[in-house]
Chain A
Amino acid sequence: MIAGKLKQASDIISRYGIFIAFIVLCILLSLATPHFLTGQNLLIILRQVSVNGILAIGVTFVIITGGIDLSLGSVVALTGVVAAGFAHPGTYPLIVPLLIGLFTGVVVGLINGLVITLGRVAPFIVTLGMMTIARGLALVWSDGRPVSNLSPAFNFIGGGDWLYIPVPILLFMLVIVVSYILLNNTTIGRYIYAVGGNEQAAKASGIRVNAVKLFAYIICGGLAALAGIVLASRITTGQPNAGIAYELDAIAAVVIGGTSLMGGRGTVTGTVVGVLIIGVINNGLDLLNVSSYYQQIIKGVIIIGAVLLDRRNAK
């Protein structure tokens, strides 16, 4: 009887380990500072995590197929400066910078995917190369300087509110919903898990593995572009050196969220919780005015701790 109950409890912990870790973290922070658990602060946390959240969901697709994308941060910079270049007031309507920015990200994703599938080069290498290529292109495009003087319409994407909710949060939520449906309720979603779980078996059962992988990298590039546009709009400039090491925060969020770096396992909801954990840590440590040296140590410990808790329970 008691053993059964214990088993039940440990099942719950193992299924929801990362959620529990997140809630514990929130409780600790709200005890530590009265400024944490306020509606306004929670809204601010959501706005601050939107860019990393959009990136992390994009790379979730790639990681589930067993790949990785290290070019995210550079793509953020590249798409940000490219979009900003078409967003000066009185030049083009808003749709132009948005489409060109997204298109740029999709092309980068397409190239990553093509070299990985047709060229049979390891994703780590291809996207590492793309990381410096995209950064270089961002610097060439912008001549090494921030692209500023952007139209109010463009700046609305990162800085505006719609129905009292900041636009980046709305975009983040839209990405969550669409990605959730895509991964859970569509054929291509099932194929993505199948390819990551066992590529040979997927191939044998008639799945076009290369096409599925290509799809994942294109989604990832497109979402990185969306993140780049949101960031450029939020800081009202396209910065060629924006987004340095953003891929690491995104990948950390995905891993915290229980997605396996080996592929085949992972969820959008897990990634969202991972993103929130990182965001809450950043916000909470600032609220508590913890020295920036210690912040880095604490962040690392919490990231490893959260994953450790998850792994121990998932055994």
Chain B
Amino acid sequence: MNIRFNRIIFLVCSSILITSCHQQTKSNGEKLPVIGASMLSLQSEFVVNVKDAMEARAKEKNVELIVNDAQRTAEKQVQQIETFISQKVDAIILNPCEVEASSPAIAKAKAAGIPIINVNSETSATPDGFVGSRDEQAGEIAMEQIAKLLSGKGNIVMIDGYMGQAAQIKRAIGAKNILAKYPDIKVLAEQTAEWDRAKAMSLMENWIQSYGNKINAVFAHNDEMGMGALQALEQAKLKDKVIVVSIDAIADALQAVKDGRLDATVFQDAKGQGAGAVDMALQLVKKQPVDNKEVFIPFQLVTKENVDGFMKK
């Protein structure tokens, strides 16, 4: 009993020590503005890219940036914001886990008088600023390209992201907006592969069995799944007959577009979002006027013609 209690005391003390050291070393010299950021998941490549861009811009602007990983849990995210508030950070950047469940974080920051802005995706509560992209637009751009390549006629299959997540819902809405304009494009099947390359590959293999030559194009909600479908088609020696378009412009997908394997991807500007979020947070900290509280960074279509420009970014 006693030993256990001592251990707990030791753990608590050492963790306090570690965290306080961390703050001291970072805030030496003149007092730098501190921005706390709670990110959706640092296991997602795109979010890691946004985080890297934020860190780079923070360094450039001489700002201390504390980055927390909410690990896709809204509850954890709200706790992280509470910690930022008690640490008295100067501004908070929120990369929301969920539309509804992350909203209390906004209310808490506002009540504490700390400016909070959302990066990448929205919450139902309105923050002091927003830097991100409209996921519907990504679905629209991708599907428009498929329609163009099919000349408005053919059969497609759709591989969805993790069901119920904002990006999945909005990309599906965008795609369906465009499909409504092309009555001759038929959706043979729609199924989730949970953003996962291996799952998408298995799904595509199974679809090739049931639909075979009938499939003219594949729309995948992200590049990981697009690459999985692409590999399944290549293995079945069907790729030259089927169009594959996906979203995100990850490094692998850009290379595949350049090699003429993937027909197109849609670029979401991680750098623009991350840097833009830090800039806006700083403006709010310095109480400078912000002309535009909602900055939408557009998606861009990437094809073989313009892929080189994106590979450097």
Contact = CB atoms under 8 A, between A and B. Distances in A.
Interface stretch (A8-16, A90-98, A137-145, A179-187): A137-145
Nearest to A239: B197
Interface stretch (A32-40, A170-178, A202-210, A267-275): A32-40
A144 B51 CA distance: 11
Contacts of A40: 209
Interface in A271-315: 282-283, 286-289, 291-293
A237 B252 contact: yes
Interface stretch (B120-128, B200-208, B274-282): B200-208
A99 interface: no
Contacts of A33: 210
A291 B191 CA distance: 7
Contact of A234 (B188, B189, B198, B206): B198
A231 B231 CA distance: 13
Contact of B192 (A231, A241, A283, A292): A292
Contact of B198 (A159, A240, A242, A291): A242
B45 A35 contact: no
B127 to A, nearest CB: 25
B197 A48 contact: no
Given A235-B198, A241-B43, A146 B207 contact: no
Given A44-B205, A48-B205, A282-B202, A148 B210 contact: no
B250 interface: yes
A50 to B, nearest CB: 11
B48 interface: yes
A287 B252 contact: no
B232 to A, nearest CB: 9
B231 A143 contact: no
Q: Is the interface of B mostly helix, strand, loop or mixed?
A: helix
A286 B159 CA distance: 12
A146 B45 contact: yes
Interface residues of B, number: 31
B42 A139 contact: yes
Given A237-B197, A239-B197, A286 B210 contact: yes
B43 A287 contact: no
Contact of A145 (B48, B205, B206, B255): B48
Interface in A65-111: none
A112 interface: no
A289 B252 contact: no
B251 interface: yes
A7 B209 CA distance: 42
Contacts of A51: 198
B162 to A, nearest CB: 10
B107 interface: no
Nearest to B189: A289
Contacts of B202: 48, 282-283, 286
Contacts of B163: 292-293
A41 interface: yes
- Determine which residue in B42, B196, B209, B251 has the highest number of CB atoms from chain A within 10 A of its CB, and name it: B209
A139 B231 CA distance: 25
Interface in B30-55: 42-45, 48
A259 interface: no
Given A234-B201, A236-B231, A286-B203, 15 more contacts: A35-B209, A40-B209, A139-B42, A144-B44, A145-B48, A146-B252, A148-B252, A231-B198, A235-B198, A237-B252, A239-B224, A240-B43, A242-B198, A282-B202, A287-B206
For the complex of A and B, the 10 pairs showing the least CB-CB separation, nearest first, are: A286-B206, A144-B48, A235-B197, A287-B210, A292-B192, A35-B210, A148-B252, A289-B189, A41-B209, A241-B43
27 contacts: A40-B209, A41-B209, A48-B205, A139-B43, A144-B42, A144-B44, A144-B48, A145-B45, A146-B224, A146-B252, A148-B251, A148-B255, A149-B252, A231-B198, A234-B198, A235-B231, A236-B231, A237-B197, A237-B227, A237-B252, A240-B43, A242-B198, A286-B203, A286-B210, A288-B210, A289-B191, A289-B210
Interface of A: 33, 35, 38, 40-41, 44, 47-48, 51, 139, 143-146, 148-149, 159, 231, 234-237, 239-242, 282-283, 286-289, 291-293
